[in-house]
Amino acid sequence: MRQDRQGRPATSDGRRAQESDARDPVLDPVERASESIFGVLMAVSIVGALSVTSGSSQEIRTTLVMALACNIAWGLTDAVMYLVTTAITKSRNFRLARRLQQTTDPREVRRIVTDALPASVVACARDETIEAMGKDLCALHVPKTALSSRDLLAALSVFLVVVAATFPIVLPFLFTKDVAVAKRVSNALAVAVLYAQGYVVGRFSGATPWAYGVSFAGLGAVLVAVIMALGG
């Protein structure tokens, strides 16, 4: 059965999916957390370069501009790739629906459905379930493949989340000339952001929020260490 972006079944006329989309945020918590964490790690890795500089005002300014410019560039890249991935997914779903609707052989319908499903699902699904899914899919209205305004808004959100993640990391350097103090505050804010995003993902997944928060903060610290060790 066709599903919306959040994984809920949609009706044949798409009305339920459209109503649900109008209420839901364009990015789910996991998507927002992923983009925010990526932006934080990129900014921290660049700001970390200040430890090998003299800490002059010019060098600090240059480093902060580099951090912002880098996240702008990667935010734009992520946004474009989001649109590309969405377009490919829509095109695949469109072709799948058309193939099913043009097929009259029940065995071919079953083969198309099983090829589209994950192997783990096919392994535990009964034949009756596969056949019912095939019938439901054949009855669906063929979805449009063009990118929608909602897709464009989601891509813009991806860009903004990555760019916004830069500011907690760079702001401490704008309020103090002591590079060592600014770096400690910046790192503390980075850990706080990572913890907050992990907490949100934990709540979304139904797990223990604080455990996810601690895990995300710890994982972020390890990734930053690896990035810095590789010269990032």
pLDDT at 37 over 70: yes
Cα–Cα distance, 206 to 212 (Å, whole number) = 11
Structural domain includes residue 57? yes
Structural domain includes residue 167? yes
Give me the pLDDT at residue 12, please.
42
Structural domain includes residue 111? yes
- 3-class SS at 9? strand
- The pTM assigned to this predicted structure is 0.75
- Furthest C-alpha separation in the chain: 74
The number of folded domains in the chain is 1
Lowest mean pLDDT among 56-65, 91-100, 132-141, 181-190: 132-141
Q: CB of 170 within 8 A of CB of 43?
A: yes
Question: Domain range holding 88?
Answer: 28-229
- Mean pLDDT within 203-224: 87
Structural domain includes residue 107? yes
Give the Cβ contact number of residue 71 at 10 Å: 27
Structure confidence at residue 173 as a pLDDT band (50, 70, 90)? confident
Token output for 47:
């700001």
